[in-house]
Structure 1
Amino acid sequence: MLSLLHIENIAVIESADISFDGGFTVLTGETGAGKSIVIDAISAILGERAYRDMIRTGANKATVRAVFTGVPKLQWFEDNGVEYDPETIVQREIFLDGKNVCRVNGSLVTVSILRKLGIQLINIHGQHDSASLFDEDNHLAFLDAFAGNEALRSDYGEKYETVAKLRREIDRLTMDEGEKLRRMETLKYQIAEIEKAELEPGEDEKLEDRRKILQNAEKLSNGMETAVECLYGGDDTDGAAGLLAQAEYALARLSRFSDSFNALHERVADLMYQVQDAAEEVRDARDGLSYSADELEQIESRLDVIHKLRRKYGTTCEDILAYLDSARKELDDIEFADDHLERLKAKLQKAEKAAWDAAIALRENRKAAAKAMSERILTELTQLDMPRVQFSCEFRETELTVAGADAVAFYMSANAGEALKPMSKVASGGELARIMLAMKNVLAEKDQVETLIFDEVDTGVSGRAAQKVAQKLKSVAAHKQVLCVTHLPQLAALADNHLLIAKQERNGRTYTSVTPLDLEGRKRELARIIGGATITETTLKSAEEMLRG
């Protein structure tokens, strides 16, 4: 669970250290005090998108650090080479230039890798989640999350990809006669042009090296002559080879008189032999220098041919030859397209059957899960003061798609005697919030995430319905850590822990503080929520009664 959160220089929060306990924790405060900023900070350490606009004015970076306790040994740690510790520390720094630095237990990770850990530590549910229920494109994903059918979807996905690949290949080979003839003429011209050049792999590099030598032939020749003269000597001087030979002879004579000269003699002898070998190689290289204007002209002409092909077919001879192979294959495919198409269509027929079998297996799993999910959601909604609601997952069969062969839409009736209709047409804001809460509770039973955060999901809920929502969150907190940003006194009264988010001005700057409330503090905050800015004996008494339950 989330145990500690340190926030530094995010929006109006200059610095805050927040301790969280298990159970049900609420965050309350005036509108604009900074409650959502705390949620944004938590989102940041979960790897969600963070903007440099979050950084407090005048600061060069923002920092969020969280400590999670009781973290299970997730596969994520091994996969990403991060040391596992049940007390996991996550830190993220956001800089003005847009750079982000993320660490988990001291190891640097990317934002995308951090996000993969974050979804296994905390689930955040905001007002936009309720709005997403209106979009039927999301309903299948909700159902699949409940069904836990990853293996079936993966099996279907592989089979569908085979079908899609075969369809693309068939489409590529299916063309009218005029288009086919034009393409064949183009390919034949390209093949003939490349074949006529008779390219060899690496030929362009060899020719460019040779051209460079020929273009600098005079400099090379003069340099080699100088090297030969230095090594062999000229008419009036001895070269290095001759001088070393004389030195070796002199030391050889000295070694006859004293063994102390033997080591020195051997070293000079080795140098002499190395220089003599090098001198011979230099002389051979000089004698091997041959060049002519005709050869340079031939190389330039050959490179011109290669450069023309480069502009059309690739940057190197290897690329051009690879294009030649590809063009030959495509021409062969077109010329024998009818036979090839028949083979592909036979493969496609088998692949489509396999994909349909997988799609039907997935559909049966989804329908069974839809029935179970509907029953669970109805049970949850009854507990949330919606006893007469009807809920159903309606299926519509489709062609094979990436997600299967099903379209799913959630239908409901909120009142007795009303026919089931698409959710977007019948659910009010308060009803939608409770439906989303019911779905989140049902889905939470299927995952191992220990911390759930609800960011003003009670919008549009009041009265008895608000009390039911509060009781539901309280019951969820019996086996999960639940954090809730709320404006409802019913929720705040049932919390195990209460944090007050408050905003003050000092020296022309705005500061936000986070304060754990004791019983007296909770009573005054509840009185404020009930009655507004003016706290009276009546509102205090009401708050006290709510806290007593």
Structure 2
Amino acid sequence: MLQTLYIENIAVIEKTSIDFDEGLNVLTGETGAGKSIIIDAINAIMGQRTSREIIRTGEKTAFVSAQFDNIGSAAASKLEELGFEAGDDTLILQRTLNINGKSVCKINGRPANVSMLRAVSQSLINIHGQHESYELFSPETHIDYIDSYGGCDELLNSYKEKYNEYKILQKKLNQVNTDESERLREIDLLSFQTRELFDADVQPGEEEELEAERSALMNFEKIFSLLNKAKIMLEGQDSNGGIEALDVASNAVRSASEYNGEYSELAEGLTDIYYNLRELAEGVNDAIDNLESDPRRLGEIEERLDLLNRLTRKYNCSCDELPSLAEKMQTRLEELINYDKNRDELDKACAKAKKDALDAAQRLSARRRKTAENFAARVRDEMSFLNMPNVTLVPSFEVCELGAKGVDKVELLISANPGETPRPVAKIASGGELSRMMLAIKTVLASSDKVDTLIFDEIDTGISGSAAEKVGLKLREVSSSCQVLCVTHQAQIAALANTHLLIEKQFENGRTFTQVTKLSREGRVRELARIIGGVNITQAALSHAEDMLSGH
């Protein structure tokens, strides 16, 4: 569960640390006090997209840290999958927001990124925003509730795998079924290009070898002059070259060693150098003898390099890539020439993939239809408890073409009053009915939800009186199996909290600050009285607030 939330420089919050408890935690306060900022901070730590405008005026960075204790197996598995250790069932997520739009993220002190925060937090927190109820207006979301309740993940993933395979093959088949004139035009072009490349017969490393040979031929006179200079320095014009001088020096030291043995090693070294130098001199002579000035060969090289240059520019690749390009073109050409055979094979593969996808979709549909009635019945029961005793909820199924979610078009039809025909939610549900319907759905799904913390941001929109109390009782019931955080304006809901947090706005030195306080019983009485009676708290409001707390 979410144990501690630390916020720094988020909107009007300079610094605050909020400790949450098990059960139902409610957050109350005046409109504009900063309750939504707490939700924004939690969204930030969950890796959601966050505007830099959220950073407190005058500051360059903002920081959010969340500590979770006793994390579930799903979160631990996700951490392991991402390369992090869960430790002693404690998890700390951190995110620093910079004014330049960049973020620095950490998981248990180790560097992470926003997508990692998002992946881990999906197993930790589920936020129901104050506008999320309006998702019920979109029938496309109804199928997701049934899939979640029915545990359809495995069937849905299996279907998606087969559906994606079918779509890939279908795309290839559509490419094959191009206009005949376009196919013939491509055959003509590829025939010319492959012939051109195969006739060129470019070899790996050929360009570098030709450039080296061209350099040697173009600089024949310079090379000859330099090698001849080396020969003269080694052998001399007629005599007295370097080799002869070294021979004289070697003999002199050898003679000296006859009188003093200490010079023997020096004499042997000079002798070795003499023979090595003679061998090198012979190499220089061979190099001079092998030198050739061949204008015809130089012309052939220039012509070949010009061809290679034209081909690399034409096909926009390096010289060494030309052979593989020719092979690819040849493969594509053969596919086009063998059009009928390839098309028949692809057509069969596509038909099989479609059948496999349809079979998987039918299995998924069967599970959904089996699940839907039970799901609707349970949601009806929850809505009845939430002061909608005459509600009717009917799952409507239509068969559609293969799509990302199968062959089902599902919509939950509702009737809030006896004798009325169930109709689409968007046509008859009020704001209060939407809020209660969404809470009923969340309650039913809570048993299959793998997260430890549910957050409701103003779930009480559009309701009051006994209906609000029923919503509070339902939130209290849900909080028995997981931690619940709820932003509310209803005293009936706040009175049922296990932990009550007050969000207050204060002004200091011309600046606005938000403070979060965990209320004692006395503080809760005054806050409930404020919610009931407004700014001027009367004794009657205090007595009523005391009764509300005592009643729970």
TM-score, normalised to structure 2's length?
0.88
| Alignment of structure 1 residues 514-525 onto 2, 5 Å | 514-525=516-527
Cα drift, residue 344 of structure 1: 2.4
Q: Deviations over 1:316-352 (max 9, x none)?
A: 2454333333332333223222232222222333222
Q: 1:200 aligns with which of 200, 203, 215?
A: 203
* C-alpha spacing 1:212/1:409, structure 2 compared with 1 (3 Å): farther
Percent identity over the alignment is: 44
The alignment covers a number of residue pairs equal to 547
Give the equivalent residue in structure 2 for 1:316.
Answer: 318
Measured in 2, the distance between the counterparts of 1:290 and 1:69 equals 84
Matched, 1:101 2:104: yes
Asked if structure 1 preserves the Cα contact closer than 8 Å seen for 2:365 and 2:407, the reply is yes
AA partner of residue 479 (structure 2): A
| Alignment of structure 1 residues 271-350 onto 2, 5 Å | 297-350=299-352
Give the equivalent residue in structure 1 for 2:539.
Answer: 537
Give the equivalent residue in structure 2 for 1:452.
Answer: 454
Matched, 1:419 2:432: no
Root-mean-square deviation (CA, aligned residues, Å) is 3.4
Cα drift, residue 212 of structure 1: 6.4
Measured in 2, the distance between the counterparts of 1:468 and 1:174 equals 61
Give the equivalent residue in structure 2 for 1:38.
Answer: 38
Moved more, 361-370 or 69-78: 69-78
Secondary structure of the residue aligned to 1:4 is strand
Matched, 1:134 2:137: yes
Give the equivalent residue in structure 2 for 1:69.
Answer: 69
Q: 1:463 aligns with which of 465, 471, 474?
A: 465
Cα drift, residue 120 of structure 1: 0.8
Q: 2:164 aligns with which of 161, 166, 170?
A: 161
Larger Rg: 2
* C-alpha spacing 1:133/1:284, structure 2 compared with 1 (3 Å): farther
Measured in 2, the distance between the counterparts of 1:218 and 1:53 equals 73
Give the equivalent residue in structure 1 for 2:15.
Answer: 15
* C-alpha spacing 1:184/1:30, structure 2 compared with 1 (3 Å): same
Asked if structure 2 preserves the Cα contact closer than 8 Å seen for 1:47 and 1:115, the reply is yes
Measured in 2, the distance between the counterparts of 1:31 and 1:312 equals 68
Measured in 2, the distance between the counterparts of 1:178 and 1:294 equals 47
Measured in 1, the distance between the counterparts of 2:350 and 2:149 equals 32
Cα drift, residue 255 of structure 1: 12
Cα drift, residue 293 of structure 1: 6.0
Cα drift, residue 145 of structure 1: 1.9
Cα drift, residue 272 of structure 1: 9.2
In structure 1, runs of 5+ residues without a counterpart are none
* C-alpha spacing 1:547/1:173, structure 2 compared with 1 (3 Å): same
Q: Deviations over 1:418-447 (max 9, x none)?
A: 111111111111111111111112222112
* C-alpha spacing 1:530/1:252, structure 2 compared with 1 (3 Å): farther
* C-alpha spacing 1:218/1:15, structure 2 compared with 1 (3 Å): farther
AA partner of residue 331 (structure 1): L
Cα drift, residue 233 of structure 1: 8.4
AA partner of residue 3 (structure 1): Q
Cα drift, residue 288 of structure 1: 6.8
Measured in 2, the distance between the counterparts of 1:372 and 1:265 equals 106
Asked if structure 2 preserves the Cα contact closer than 8 Å seen for 1:241 and 1:275, the reply is no
| Alignment of structure 1 residues 355-370 onto 2, 5 Å | 355-370=357-372
Q: Deviations over 1:59-93 (max 9, x none)?
A: 22111111111123511222222122212111111
Give the equivalent residue in structure 2 for 1:184.
Answer: 187
Q: 1:373 aligns with which of 375, 386, 397?
A: 375
Measured in 2, the distance between the counterparts of 1:252 and 1:127 equals 108
* C-alpha spacing 1:293/1:405, structure 2 compared with 1 (3 Å): farther
* C-alpha spacing 1:39/1:245, structure 2 compared with 1 (3 Å): farther
Matched, 1:122 2:125: yes
* C-alpha spacing 1:192/1:24, structure 2 compared with 1 (3 Å): same
Measured in 1, the distance between the counterparts of 2:437 and 2:525 equals 30
Give the equivalent residue in structure 2 for 1:3.
Answer: 3
Give the equivalent residue in structure 2 for 1:80.
Answer: 82
Measured in 2, the distance between the counterparts of 1:520 and 1:494 equals 15
Measured in 1, the distance between the counterparts of 2:547 and 2:255 equals 115
Measured in 2, the distance between the counterparts of 1:268 and 1:107 equals 65
Q: Deviations over 1:265-298 (max 9, x none)?
A: 9999999999999888888778777676655554
Asked if structure 2 preserves the Cα contact closer than 8 Å seen for 1:173 and 1:333, the reply is no
* C-alpha spacing 1:388/1:218, structure 2 compared with 1 (3 Å): farther
Give the equivalent residue in structure 1 for 2:29.
Answer: 29
Measured in 1, the distance between the counterparts of 2:393 and 2:466 equals 21
| Alignment of structure 1 residues 251-270 onto 2, 5 Å | none
Asked if structure 2 preserves the Cα contact closer than 8 Å seen for 1:499 and 1:517, the reply is yes
* C-alpha spacing 1:212/1:537, structure 2 compared with 1 (3 Å): farther
Moved more, 154-163 or 504-513: 154-163
Matched, 1:111 2:117: no
In structure 2, runs of 5+ residues without a counterpart are none
Secondary structure of the residue aligned to 1:21 is coil
TM-score, normalised to structure 1's length?
0.89
Secondary structure of the residue aligned to 2:122 is helix
Secondary structure of the residue aligned to 1:133 is helix
Asked if structure 1 preserves the Cα contact closer than 8 Å seen for 2:66 and 2:94, the reply is yes
Give the equivalent residue in structure 2 for 1:143.
Answer: 146
Cα drift, residue 16 of structure 1: 0.4
Measured in 2, the distance between the counterparts of 1:168 and 1:494 equals 57
Cα drift, residue 508 of structure 1: 1.4
Measured in 2, the distance between the counterparts of 1:463 and 1:248 equals 122
Moved more, 144-153 or 61-70: 144-153
Asked if structure 2 preserves the Cα contact closer than 8 Å seen for 1:61 and 1:95, the reply is yes
